[in-house]
Structure formats: structure tokens, C-alpha cells
Homo-oligomer: A and B are copies of this chain.
Amino acid sequence: MNEKEFISFESDYNNGAHPAVLRCLVETNPRPSASYGDDCWSRAAREKIARACDSPRADVFFLVGGTQTNAVVISALLAPYEGVVAVDTAHINVHESGAIEGTGHKVLALPGHNGLMDPDELASLLEAFHADPNRDHMVWPGMVYVTFPTELGTLYTRERLERIHATCRRYSIPLYIDGARLGYGLMASDCDFDLPWLARHCDAFYIGGTKMGALCGEAVVFPQGNAPAHFFTHVKRQGALLAKSRVVGVQFDALFTDGLYFDIARHALDMAARLRRLFVERGYEVTPSTTNQQFVLLTPEQVEHIARHVAFELWERVPGDARNRDLYRFVTSWATTQAHLDALAAALDTMP
């Protein structure tokens, strides 16, 4: 395939950096710097992030990728005998090659509901665990992990997250939010809270960079200055520390200057809403998602035709669908343009 020409809705990491992010990398390149997190851009980015979170005491760390970030944070927050509660469709449970178990901890899976955790089911799990006479022979639920937005493009409401957070506090276990696509969630039309609110309703979260316009990098935030002791060495030990820490620092400095991070989100969400309409107006069935990931049921013939025009991915087989359809994913990002959407529309409109 000619990569120069092709139009891809495969993911939000199938492109380079947002031009403004790239520009900062270029402009700062000639300057020498401290390493291992102590460069001036990382320092500036940490301050800007703390400000954006309205969390002046926040501890902020820059790591490189999402799987790594989850493994480092989760293993730093858990005692050896504890596991992390997550829904079955959670990234850590399915698509991270057992990275959490690789650090010695079990993922305790609850059923997902369109990717979301049910606060009542969480409360029941914790209540049942602590009432179980055999609990000392079991894995202790030591923290809760949710993704925002979820892997299925859905969002926690303020009320749902509050209830999960309250349950965590009742049992004195931390709530950690995987924000690989955080901006796409916060800027979504139906999101009823903002970044400072989120920072007040969890114990740790990360602000995804890779899928939000950076080349790489994720920003871990412990909003109350509550980073585990020697978290730096946790990061180093798990190979997540960049010698040239500026690589991530410069990018987050750019992303959190003049609201770029949120602008990028808004653009992708706008593109996603239009993309969704293309399908809905033509009678295709889509799942509920207000974020930059859209999921459409397609027949093999439809797939074959569309794939001649634009790239996209199979998300999930749907056994027993009457029309033999499966679920496909279309993703937008900073790099998605109206021209891309037009190409998709053209494909749909030439469907045999």
C-alpha cells in the first residue's frame, strides 16, 4: 500500500505528531538539557498540567506508552497480595499481553456494560469479598481501574464515577483512571465534568499523549501529591524512564500550552460526529459512542467495498448476526480531515 496516499481510520496512532507539537520538538532541539525528567520542558509541562488539573500539589511523571504506564502505576499501588478490579473488556485485561500479571498481580474482572463498570457490581464484589470467610486465601481487591473513555468509546457520567470513587474510599483502595484518550472523553458533548473534577475524584490517572497528538508519551498524575514513595525508581526499574526525558516533556509542554490538548480533542470529536452521521443517515447500525472511536456493524460485502477506499479495522466478531455482520471500528484524530470523510462518504454512496 502506498502509505503517502491512503486514508486511514484505523486508529489515532497511525500518524505523526500534531504540527504544533512537532514544531516545539524542532525549536527546542538545539538546546542542551538535563536528563531523566529534570529538563526545563518537563518541569514546565508538569506545572502546566497541575494547573490544568487545578491540583497545585499534583505529582506528575512522564512515561512513554500506555501498557507500560498501567503496569508501572498499578504495580506501585498494590501490595503483593492485592489485585486490580477492572471490567472484562478493559485494556489491561485483554490487550496488554498480561503486563499486569507480569508484575505479579491479578486482574479481577467484573462484567463490562458497553465498556463501563457498574458501581453496584463493584460495591457487591467488595462487600462479598470482605464477607467471605475464605478471603485470606483469595486475591485482595487492592484498587480499581477504569478507562475514560472506555475501549468502546463510552463515557462515565459524573454520577457513575462519583459512586465508584465513593466505594473506593469506603474500602480505602485507590481509584486509577486510564486516560489514554482522556481529551476525547472530557471534550465529548455528553461529558458532564472537567479535568479538575476528575482529578478530585480519583487517586491517580494518566493523560494520554500518544493517541492525542504526541509522538509518544503519557503523563501520570497523582493529584494530591500522593505518588507512591520512590515512584521514580519504580519507573526506572520497569524500563519506563527516558534518558532524554525532554522528548516527552517538550511534547506535553506544547499540548498544555494555549489549550492545544483540548483543541485536538475537539477537532477529532467533530470529525467523529460527522463520520457517525455518514453511517447513521445511510441506515447503518452503530453502537452508542460520543467519542473519537465509532463502531459500525458491516456485512462482508460492505467491508470489501469500503476497504477499497479507506482503511479501518475489525473490532469484534458478532456470532449469529442475522445479516452476518461484524463490528468495525473507525477512529478519528488530529490528522482526520473533511477530505477523508468525503472519501468515506463516496465509498458509502457507491456501495453496489
Contacts and interface: CB of A to CB of B under 8 A. Distances in A.
Interface string A20-49: 001001101111111110011000000000
A140 B230 contact: yes
A215 B41 CA distance: 15
Interface residues of A, number: 88
A76 B72 contact: no
A23 to B, nearest CB: 9
Contacts of A75: 80
A29 B16 contact: yes
Interface in A211-231: 211, 215-216, 229-230
Interface stretch (A98-106, A157-165, A273-281): A98-106
Nearest to A133: B314
Contacts of A16: 25, 28-31, 33, 244, 246
Nearest to A215: B247
A345 to B, nearest CB: 19
A314 to B, nearest CB: 7
A210 B243 contact: yes
A101 B101 CA distance: 5
A15 B247 CA distance: 10
Interface string A264-293: 000000000000000000000000000000
A136 B13 CA distance: 18
27 contacts: A11-B243, A16-B31, A16-B246, A17-B29, A22-B29, A36-B137, A65-B239, A65-B241, A65-B242, A70-B239, A80-B234, A81-B97, A81-B230, A83-B98, A94-B138, A95-B138, A96-B237, A99-B238, A101-B101, A101-B106, A136-B230, A140-B230, A210-B244, A216-B216, A216-B242, A216-B243, A239-B240
